[in-house]
Amino acid sequence: MSSWPASFTSRWTVTKSGLSSHGWGMSRKRHERCCGNCSVGFGLTFEEYVTASMGQADQNPRRYTAEEYLDLEQQSEIKHEFFDGEIFAMAGADISHNLISSNFLVSFKLALRGRPCKVLMEGVQLAVQEGRHYTYPDVMITCDAADQQAKRILKAPVLLIEVLSPSTAEYDRGRKFNQYKQLPSLQHYLLVSQTSWLVEWYRREPGNIWSFTALVEAEDALVIPDLNINLTVAAIYEGTDVAPLKIVAEEPAVAYGGQRF
């Protein structure tokens, strides 16, 4: 037997009829389908349930199918990403994160007016690889006809944005970006710093080569003619307490004899 992800501990109670809390309801049959043939758990609080199962969980870690994940995620109050059977809880966004995402959203909505495209924020799910990898990008633009009719999950974005935090920066630059590159529709990927004015802009070029541009000055702009986008760094960080990036010039080296070179 193995436990539910720790992120569920604050909202689950295991009762004799199954798992339920905040509108969630699960019969014993469904509980066994998701958790296995559990020998403990019913009648315990979730914290007691997790404690009782920890020893067995370490020996036989629980991996979820995409179907199980999507079923649970649809009812969860907290969003979780999914990769190769593992579930990862998403931390809540702070004010700067929210303002930056909102600045992109407002600008993009105006730019895309009259075009067959949508811009969406972090509550919308992306199928990076169907049945294997699902995420919640901070901002997405899709012009795909099928995505225009989608109710919950998008599959073909042209632009993705992730606002960086200390806990996610390495993942967003590394494994997540490598997975995003596999999306044939994706043309632009932006990583946006919350510690200083810095936007890392990756673009897919002919030959499937990704180029990189760092936007750091107030007048530097994200310019994408195909999407009618022209957005300056100053506008991206408008209303936030994020400070411009300070570039300090190096002092010339001093040679022997006091001469500078």
- Residue 101: CATH number of its domain: 3.90.1570.10
Same domain, 102 and 230: yes
13-17, 64-68, 210-214, 225-229: which has the minimum mean pLDDT?
13-17
Same domain, 102 and 229: yes
Of 57, 87, 117, the residue that ends a domain is 87
pLDDT at position 94 is 86
Which is it for strands 153-154 and 125-129: parallel, antiparallel or unpaired? parallel
Of 24, 53, 87, the residue that ends a domain is 87
Residue 261 has which token pair?
Answer: 């070179």
For residue 44, is it within any domain? Answer: yes
Domain extent, residue 144, equals: 95-236
Distance separating alpha carbons of residues 180 and 227, to the nearest angstrom: 20
For residue 260, is it within any domain? Answer: no
pLDDT tens digits along 186-243: 999 999 999 999 999 999 999 999 999 999 999 999 999 999 999 999 999 999 999 9
Distance separating alpha carbons of residues 85 and 2, to the nearest angstrom: 14
Mean pLDDT for 125-135 is 94
- Going by pLDDT thresholds of 50, 70 and 90, the confidence category of residue 245 is confident
Could you give the percent of the chain with pLDDT greater than 90?
Answer: 57
**Which segment, 83-87, 89-93, 238-242, is predicted with the most confidence on average?**
238-242
